[in-house]
Amino acid sequence: MSKYKIGLFGFGCVGQGLYKTLSENNADAEIVKVCVKNKEKKRSIEAEKITYDAAEILNNEDINIIVELIDDAKAALEIVRAALKKGKAVVSANKKMVAENLDELIALQKQYETPLLYEGAVCGSIPIIRNLEDYYASEQIEEIKGIFNGSSNYILTKLFQEGKSYEEALGEAQANGFAETDPTLDVGGFDPKFKLSIILQHTFGIRQHPENIFNWGIQNISEKDIAFAKERNLKIKLLAKAHFDGKVLSTLVAPHFIDEQNPLYHVENEFNCVLINGKYASNQTLIGKGAGSLPTGLAVLSDVIALTQGYTYRYKSADFTSGGSQAVEVYLSFNDIEDIDKNAFTSISESYIGSDYGYIIGKIELEALQQLLNGSSGVNVVFTSGKQTEIEIPNLTYSYAN
Amino acid sequence: MSKYKIGLFGFGCVGQGLYKTLSENNADAEIVKVCVKNKEKKRSIEAEKITYDAAEILNNEDINIIVELIDDAKAALEIVRAALKKGKAVVSANKKMVAENLDELIALQKQYETPLLYEGAVCGSIPIIRNLEDYYASEQIEEIKGIFNGSSNYILTKLFQEGKSYEEALGEAQANGFAETDPTLDVGGFDPKFKLSIILQHTFGIRQHPENIFNWGIQNISEKDIAFAKERNLKIKLLAKAHFDGKVLSTLVAPHFIDEQNPLYHVENEFNCVLINGKYASNQTLIGKGAGSLPTGLAVLSDVIALTQGYTYRYKSADFTSGGSQAVEVYLSFNDIEDIDKNAFTSISESYIGSDYGYIIGKIELEALQQLLNGSSGVNVVFTSGKQTEIEIPNLTYSYAN
């Protein structure tokens, strides 16, 4: 009999991944009960382990670890709250739930002296949260960024490598289990924003609610945008970025042009990549699968094992001011120039206007860009940064967050 | 006053890196004494902290952490032994000392219940040992390999990118503090072998003494070898590799041809890269600076902080048989075909014989290759594997360790 008894919520892609990886490990932990919603679905676990009643797990005093792997962020929060209040250690892979409620979750952990771990919520198989908490705690990190969404990266790879249509590529990503139930979270750039919000806490000790992070996704990328990138030997990658100079924090999630010299150029399909830039070790790169049953299952399992070893997050904290006036340089494409308020740009270095497609490359404040995007239809934006340093596209140099 | 008082041995490149990173962190540890050898050298630390007598540190009961950062592996072992026997926790960055004496060091840790950590000994700033101990402990790793020597990689980068001579490139690496005092350890492929030996212990729970690992370095690479690679759009990288199928272990250190599709192709200068291939998460990549004062200083500091938090290695163990009969496919170049025993090859797919340069591409058993290299002069060998999967050069497919 194991010392650690797990009550599992959700038996989808990641839940099954945990089940398999745990069954093949000799961890001092076993899944004793699994709570699922759908009574019709056939399950590959013993019937006596299945329950449809959350209370049956939460009120079971033998269960000392709750693993929460359901899609619904609201229901997940209820489960995690209840578990922590009962003194049960918790593992979650729900990035939306964690990112939106981190203040409360930190307070609950403190009040009930019960840990919550969520490695599986951030970049799938990449052990980023624990490395930030432990190894990089002594590093003076200035920038952290990367490809945080496997589903979008899979779609972009198919668009660029195989010339597939957006719809085809999205369908494939979903069929392969790389996309969340609601694809908007992935392709709209919300999912990487949740992850960035969580990462900020562990990198800089800064709490920033995801709703305060700019995001633009990949769902508006047109064939013309792809052609523009290909002509210049660039790819488009959806990046999440955070820069902190010790005082001012700049964050954003947006598609970026990336050139061949950039390590991110070579990160394809469902792979994620985290780039850490610090004062001592300069550039550190971590690449791994950002989605999928077993990769994310492994991350969840590593949290379970960490709990059995008494591991908890430390949650350092820092003062900061949010960088309200980020100047960025972007390629903005549109169907009709009449829809675009050109005055929103502080400078324009290049523009093209055709009958049903045009673009402007120029500098703009992030807030002005947000307003422009909100007020226009048929537009898309790609940021022109790519390299660790700077990338030039004709007549244009972009430097990030200054 | 800090709870943890450090006695530091050695104040070279890495020692100074530790001093700086520690002084800028609010760790509960301070360096109270530094033992150095050379009385003539000017030091950038307070005179009263300096001693030339090891016993002054080892017998100081206030000192509870010993950090050993000297070049001499034999002297380093004496210090670490003495410290562990006195119950002082130890951090070392001496890969040769750790790799050659790991059995004894594990036994001493057990007997005296005192931890030894050595993240800084393996791949500089990359947090590989702790990730193997913690996160990847639940992964079923099949292969681990990569670029483990910053100095060699720096030299190879200069040879390929800037067309420098071998001597020029080596001089630059030494001037930049990327090469050890004795360059043979780096360029002869010994240093990556020490690291591979240590990694084997933490990846598979397997103890293999470095002297049982095949190694061939980069010091014999000729302009002709470089031209051969460049004509085929390949680079040469010095790789360390280990494959374990649960029973048979295969290991080697050797230069390899690498094509553009391989992530290792883009790892340049003093950067190191570790590729982990596991059953659950498939490919994981970690890239960071493999040498240098602050990058390695950071790794040592992370060990010091880990000690203050009660961290120790767990040292799992596994049964295995060493794979004595590895068949490899290599490019062997020579000045004079008369020096080469062609019968050592089990098959030859391509050969070229000129007046003062020639090569054979063929299959050979690793032991036969070792004998051939031992018995010949003016030869060089480059392994033809490169990709995660397989790479083809004309008429040739290489698959690793079968």
Q: What is the pLDDT of residues A19-34, one digit of tens each?
A: 999 999 988 999 999 9
Give the mean pLDDT of B243-247: 87
B298 in contact with A, Cβ within 8 Å: yes
Q: Is the pLDDT of residue B306 over 90?
A: yes
Test mutation, B91, B131, B135, chain A, max A CBs within 10 A: B135
| Beta carbons of B144 and B277 less than 8 angstroms apart | yes
**How close does chain B come to A205, measured CA to CA in Å?**
15
Query: In the prediction, which pLDDT does A215 show?
Result: 96
Cβ contact, residue pair B294, A287, below 8 Å = no
Q: How does pLDDT run across B65-115, given as a tens digit for each residue? A: 999 999 999 999 999 999 999 999 999 999 999 999 999 999 999 999 999
Residue A135: closest C-alpha in chain B: B302
Give the mean pLDDT of A200-207: 95
Cβ contact, residue pair A288, B284, below 8 Å = yes
Query: In the prediction, which pLDDT does A316 show?
Result: 83
Which two three-digit tokens encode residue B16?
Answer: 């100074």
Tell me which residue in A27, A286, A298 faces B280 most closely, judged by beta carbons: A298
Cβ contact, residue pair A281, B301, below 8 Å = no
Query: In the prediction, which pLDDT does A326 show?
Result: 82
Q: Is the pLDDT of residue B392 over 60?
A: no
What percent of chain A is modeled with pLDDT above 90?
Answer: 82
- Provide CB contacts within 8 A for B91, sequence distance 6+: B65, B66, B67, B68, B116, B117, B118, B120, B300, B303, B304, B307
Cβ contact, residue pair B295, A280, below 8 Å = yes
**Contacts with B289 from chain A: Cβ below 8 Å:** 281-283
Give the mean pLDDT of B329-357: 93
B263 in contact with A, Cβ within 8 Å: yes
Which B residues in the span 60-89 are in contact with A, Cβ-Cβ below 8 Å? none
**Contacts with B125 from chain A: Cβ below 8 Å:** 280-281, 284
Cβ contact, residue pair A286, B281, below 8 Å = no
Shortest CA distance to B218 belongs to which of B177, B158, B293, B161? B158
Q: Is the pLDDT of residue B397 over 70?
A: no
Tokens 């960088």 -> residue: A323
A281 in contact with B, Cβ within 8 Å: yes
Q: Is the pLDDT of residue B402 over 50?
A: no
Which B residues in the span 21-50 are in contact with A, Cβ-Cβ below 8 Å? 21, 24-25, 27
CA–CA separation, A186 vs A192, rounded Å?
Answer: 7
SS3 A299: helix
Phi then psi dihedrals of residue A75, to 5 deg: -65, -35
| Domains of chain A, earliest start first | 4-121 (3.40.50.720), 128-291 (3.30.360.10), 327-397 (3.30.70)
Query: In the prediction, which pLDDT does A180 show?
Result: 67
| Beta carbons of B8 and B303 less than 8 angstroms apart | no
Per-residue pLDDT band for B323 (boundaries 50, 70, 90) equals low
Shortest CA distance to B114 belongs to which of B138, B136, B89? B89
Q: Is the pLDDT of residue A296 over 80?
A: yes
Give the mean pLDDT of A1-19: 94
**Contacts with A306 from chain B: Cβ below 8 Å:** 134
Give the mean pLDDT of B356-370: 94
Give the mean pLDDT of A147-155: 96
**Contacts with B130 from chain A: Cβ below 8 Å:** 134-135
Mean pLDDT value across chain A? 91
Lowest-pLDDT choice from A1-15, A21-35, A85-99, A308-322: A308-322
Crossing angle of helices A150-161 and A223-231, in 10° steps, is 70
| Beta carbons of A357 and A335 less than 8 angstroms apart | yes
Cα–Cα distances (Å) from A382 to A159, A167, A252, A359, in that order, read 15, 20, 12, 11
**Contacts with B279 from chain A: Cβ below 8 Å:** 294
Per-residue pLDDT band for B324 (boundaries 50, 70, 90) equals low
Per-residue pLDDT band for B44 (boundaries 50, 70, 90) equals confident
Cα–Cα distances (Å) from A387 to A261, A262, A328, B342, in that order, read 7, 5, 15, 48
**Contacts with A134 from chain B: Cβ below 8 Å:** 127, 130, 302, 306
A302 in contact with B, Cβ within 8 Å: yes
**How close does chain B come to A371, measured CA to CA in Å?**
39
How crowded is the C-beta side of A174, counted as CA atoms within 13 Å?
A: 14
CA–CA separation, A275 vs A287, rounded Å?
Answer: 9
Lowest-pLDDT choice from A245-249, A290-294, B23-27, B280-284: A245-249
Residue B294: closest C-alpha in chain A: A280
CA–CA separation, B186 vs B173, rounded Å?
Answer: 11
Q: Indicate which residue of B195, B241, B289, B387 is catalytic.
A: B195
Query: In the prediction, which pLDDT does A152 show?
Result: 96
Give the mean pLDDT of A263-285: 95
Dihedral over Cα of A103, A106, A110, A113: its sign: positive
Q: Is the pLDDT of residue A391 over 70?
A: no
Query: In the prediction, which pLDDT does A323 show?
Result: 62
Lowest-pLDDT choice from A103-107, A120-124, A332-336, B38-42: B38-42
Give the mean pLDDT of B224-236: 95
Query: In the prediction, which pLDDT does B247 show?
Result: 83
Crossing angle of helices B150-161 and B166-175, in 10° steps, is 130
Q: Which helix or strand (DSSP H or E) is residue A345 part of?
A: strand A345-353
CA–CA separation, B144 vs B136, rounded Å?
Answer: 12
**How close does chain B come to A24, measured CA to CA in Å?**
9
Query: In the prediction, which pLDDT does B325 show?
Result: 72
Q: How does pLDDT run across A327-344, given as a tens digit for each residue? A: 899 999 999 999 899 999
Test mutation, B138, B258, B298, chain A, max A CBs within 10 A: B138
**How close does chain A come to B23, measured CA to CA in Å?**
11
Test mutation, B18, B129, B136, B284, chain A, max A CBs within 10 A: B284
Query: In the prediction, which pLDDT does B129 show?
Result: 98
Q: Is the pLDDT of residue B386 over 50?
A: no
Which two three-digit tokens encode residue B289?
Answer: 């600076």
- Provide CB contacts within 8 A for B369, sequence distance 6+: B214, B328, B330, B344, B381
Query: In the prediction, which pLDDT does B376 show?
Result: 87
Per-residue pLDDT band for A263 (boundaries 50, 70, 90) equals confident
Query: In the prediction, which pLDDT does B2 show?
Result: 84
| Beta carbons of A126 and A153 less than 8 angstroms apart | no
ipTM of this complex prediction, to 2 decimal places: 0.91
CA–CA separation, B243 vs B323, rounded Å?
Answer: 10
Q: Is the pLDDT of residue B180 over 80?
A: no
**Contacts with B294 from chain A: Cβ below 8 Å:** 279-281
Test mutation, B140, B279, B280, chain A, max A CBs within 10 A: B280
B140 in contact with A, Cβ within 8 Å: yes
Phi then psi dihedrals of residue A237, to 5 deg: -130, 140
| Beta carbons of A328 and A252 less than 8 angstroms apart | yes
Shortest CA distance to B18 belongs to which of B91, B88, B83? B91
The amino acid present at B402, given as its one-letter code, is N
**Contacts with B297 from chain A: Cβ below 8 Å:** 280
CA–CA separation, A328 vs A368, rounded Å?
Answer: 10
Shortest CA distance to B27 belongs to which of B292, B296, B298, B313? B298
Count CB neighbours of A112 within 10 A: 15
Cβ contact, residue pair B135, A140, below 8 Å = no
Cβ contact, residue pair B306, A134, below 8 Å = yes
CA–CA separation, B41 vs B150, rounded Å?
Answer: 27
Cβ contact, residue pair B285, A280, below 8 Å = no
Q: Is the pLDDT of residue B262 over 50?
A: yes
CA–CA separation, A326 vs A402, rounded Å?
Answer: 6
Which two three-digit tokens encode residue A303?
Answer: 């949290």
